[in-house]
A = this chain, B = another copy of it.
Amino acid sequence: MSIQDEGAEVEVKPEKAGKRAKSGRPTIRDVARLAGVSRMTVSRVMSEPDRVLPATRDRIQRAIADLGYVPDKAAGSLASRRTGFIALILPNLTNANFSTVAHGLAEVLRDADYHLLIGYTDYDLAEEDRQLTSLLARRPEAIVLAGATHSRTASRMLLSAEVPVLEIADLSGRPLQHAVGFSNYEVGRVAARHLIGRGFRRIGAVGPVQDGQIRDYRGEERMRGFEDELRLSGVPTDLVLRHGKAPLSYDHGAAAIGMLLDRDPPIDAVFAVSDLPAVGIMMECQKRGMAVPNELAVMGFGDFEIGRVTNPPLTTIHVDFHALGRRAGTILLDVLSDDDGDETPHVVDVGLSIIERGSVGKKA
C-alpha cells in the first residue's frame, strides 16, 4: 500500500437522501446521490464533460453505469426547450424514393443526435393536416415535408410554428421557406423533349387523375410539364391520359395503355409519371405481343430498381434521392445551428438526368 493522503471523510451529500425512486428507472437524482454530487453536476457531465473535474466526472460516470441510468429526454426538452425532434411528412414510406430520402436524412441527423418523427399522409391532404397537428405537439425543431401543395390550414400551421420549414422533392412552385429537390414540371418537359427528339410524334402520357382529395401533386406537375412541352412543340396532346388514383402502380399503367392503343392514328411513344406504371405498360405490351421499343417506346420516372431488370430495361429519369435526403439534413443542421437569425432561405436544386436504356429507341 502506498503512503498517501486519504482525505477527510465526506461531510455533506449535496443531494440529500430524501426521496427514493419509486419506479424502477433511476433518475438523475439517484445518480447524484450515489456519486455524492448535485444533480447539476451530473447534468454537466452529460452536456459539457470538460467543465467537470476529472475525478468527479469519473465517479459520476461510474454511478451512471452502475445504475444503468438513461436520461429522460422529455424532461430535458421541457427544461431546455430543445426537443431534438425533426418532423418529416411524406406521402408514404413504401415508395423506394421516399424511403431513400428518409434514410439519407436520418443518417445525417442522427450524428447530431436528432430524432426523426415520421408521419405519412397516403397522398391525402386532409391526413397531412392531421399529421401536422399531431407532430406539432411534439415540438419539432424543424419540419420537413414533400413539397408543392398544402392545404390552407397546413400552410398557416407551418407559418405559425416558428420553426424552419424545408420542402423536399418539388421545386416547381414557390417554396414556403427552405427547399431542396428538383422541378417535377421540368421532369415532364425533359421527358417530352427526349421523346420528340427521338422522332416520335404520336406521344402519350399516363398520370394520376386530378380529382378528390387523394392526389399526387408532384406527379401532376410532371404531367403538366409534359403536356406543355408537347404543346410548345406543336405535338397533339390527345394521348395524354389521367387514369387512377395515386400512388400509380403496374395495373394503372397496364389499364391506361389499353385505352391508348386503339387510338387513330396509333400511339408510338408513352411517358409514365413513375417507373411502376411504366413497367405495367411494358407488361401489357408483352401480353399483347407488342414490341418495345419498336412498336411502342416507353419512358418512366424515378429510376426504380425494377426498371433495370425488365426486358428491355427501362429508359427513365433519375434523381439522386439519397443525396437529396442528406442535403436536406445538412441544410437543417446549418439553419438550426445558426443562432436563429432567420437568414435567407436555402433553395437547392439537385437536378435530374435521363438514364437511357432499351425501352426508347428511335422513330423508324
Q: Which residues in A have some Cβ–Cβ distance to B below 8 Å?
A: 23-25, 68, 70-75, 77-78, 83, 92-94, 96, 99-100, 102-103, 106, 110, 113, 115-118, 120, 133-139, 157, 160, 162, 250, 276, 279, 282-283, 305-306, 308-311
**How far apart are A61's CB and chain B's nearest CB, in angstroms?**
15
A311 to B287, CA, bound (A): 12
A94 B99 Cβ-Cβ under 8 A: yes
A103 B115 Cβ-Cβ under 8 A: no
CB contact under 8 A between A138 and B73, given known A93-B103, A103-B120: yes
A309 to B134, CA, bound (A): 39
B68 A78 Cβ-Cβ under 8 A: no
Most buried by B among A78, A160, A308: A78
A83 to B85, CA, bound (A): 14
B118 A118 Cβ-Cβ under 8 A: yes
A72 B137 Cβ-Cβ under 8 A: yes
Contacts of A138 in B (CB 8 A): 73-74, 115
A92 to B115, CA, bound (A): 15
A207 to B92, CA, bound (A): 30
A102 B113 Cβ-Cβ under 8 A: no
Contacts of A139 in B (CB 8 A): 72-74
B306 A309 Cβ-Cβ under 8 A: yes
B309 A70 Cβ-Cβ under 8 A: no
Contacts of A283 in B (CB 8 A): 309
CB contact under 8 A between A74 and B71, given known A93-B99, A99-B99, A305-B306: no
Contacts of A282 in B (CB 8 A): 309
Closest 9 CB pairs of A and B: A73-B137, A93-B99, A74-B77, A74-B74, A306-B306, A311-B311, A70-B136, A94-B99, A99-B99
Most buried by B among A92, A138, A162: A138
Which of B78, B102, B305 is within 8 Å of A74, CB to CB?
B78
Could you pull out 20 A-B pairs where Cβ atoms are within 8 angstroms? A24-B162, A68-B157, A70-B136, A72-B78, A74-B74, A74-B83, A75-B78, A93-B93, A94-B96, A94-B99, A94-B100, A106-B118, A113-B134, A117-B117, A250-B305, A250-B308, A276-B305, A279-B309, A283-B309, A305-B306
Contacts of A68 in B (CB 8 A): 157, 160
Which of B93, B102, B137 is within 8 Å of A70, CB to CB?
B137
A305 to B133, CA, bound (A): 34
Contacts of A77 in B (CB 8 A): 74
Contacts of A110 in B (CB 8 A): 134
